[in-house]
Amino acid sequence: MGQSVSVLFLAFFYFPHLIPQISRADEAKPRSPERHPKRVLFYGSLIGAYQFQGPRQIKTSPTSIYDVGEFSGTSASYAAGFEYRFSSELSGLVGGVLRTILLEGGTSSTTASKNVFRVTKEFQGIETGFRYTPKAWNGWGMSIRGEYDQGQSVQLKVLQGPPVDQSDVHPTSIVVLFGGIEYLKRRGPGLYLRPEFLVGVVPSTMPVTTIVEFRLTLVR
């Protein structure tokens, strides 16, 4: 009986002292860091575009002005930059663009000599905008962006008709305003594929140039 009382006494005396030791031992164990989604992401885009413009005049020199019908053409461009996630649904972007605009069109067939022109313009620019992807849309989202492009070169080719004076052909700068829809598809840990469909306008040209784009964007 005396031994049982002694064991109970010792257990009662030492057990309260073991509790803080066990707690301190748990606190000393290394904890796995909490995983948070990356706020800054890198993106790269391959762009296929179709652009068109209504009837207009082409001025190739101070004395050479041609009335041209509708202009249209396809081209490839590239973009890359960074995205910043304000939340799980809203992000902003800023990046650089290498844009090509290609347009073909001909003069009226009623003129004495019909000319067919191809205008190729090369630009370097910057783009900025916002993406909104609500959770309820299951990966679908929308985006708006603006783009400022500095003209680097312009090439005017006469595909049909006599040569023309090109002394007044030079690069210009443009602003493009875009809006569109997109779909975000996860392809691996931290890797996403985003197809995008965008429609943009160049308001500084007369008539306004419309650009329809399909972008394939890789985000990491």
- Give the model's pLDDT for residue 214: 98
* Residues sharing a CB contact under 8 Å with residue 97, sequence separation 6 or more, in sequence order: 77, 78, 79, 123, 124, 125, 126, 127, 147, 149
Count the domains in the chain.
1
pTM, rounded to two decimals: 0.79
> Where does the pLDDT of residue 89 fall: very low under 50, low under 70, confident under 90, or very high at 90 and above?
very high
- Give the model's pLDDT for residue 112: 62
> Where does the pLDDT of residue 110 fall: very low under 50, low under 70, confident under 90, or very high at 90 and above?
low
Classify residue 128: in a domain, yes or no: yes
**CATH at 198:** 2.40.160
Task: With a cut of 90, say whether residue 64 has pLDDT above it.
Answer: no
Classify residue 9: in a domain, yes or no: no
- Give the model's pLDDT for residue 152: 97
- Give the model's pLDDT for residue 5: 41
The parent domain of residue 84 ranges over 40-219
Classify residue 52: in a domain, yes or no: yes
In this prediction, residues 35-58 reach a mean pLDDT of 89
Classify residue 8: in a domain, yes or no: no
Classify residue 26: in a domain, yes or no: no
Q: Compute the mean pLDDT over every residue in the chain, rounded to the nearest whole number.
A: 85
Classify residue 2: in a domain, yes or no: no
Task: With a cut of 70, say whether residue 186 has pLDDT above it.
Answer: yes
Closest of 150, 153, 92 to residue 125, by C-alpha: 150
Classify residue 20: in a domain, yes or no: no
pLDDT tens digits for range 4-41:
444 444 444 444 454 444 444 444 455 544 455 679 99
Classify residue 136: in a domain, yes or no: yes
- Give the model's pLDDT for residue 26: 47
In this prediction, residues 189-204 reach a mean pLDDT of 94
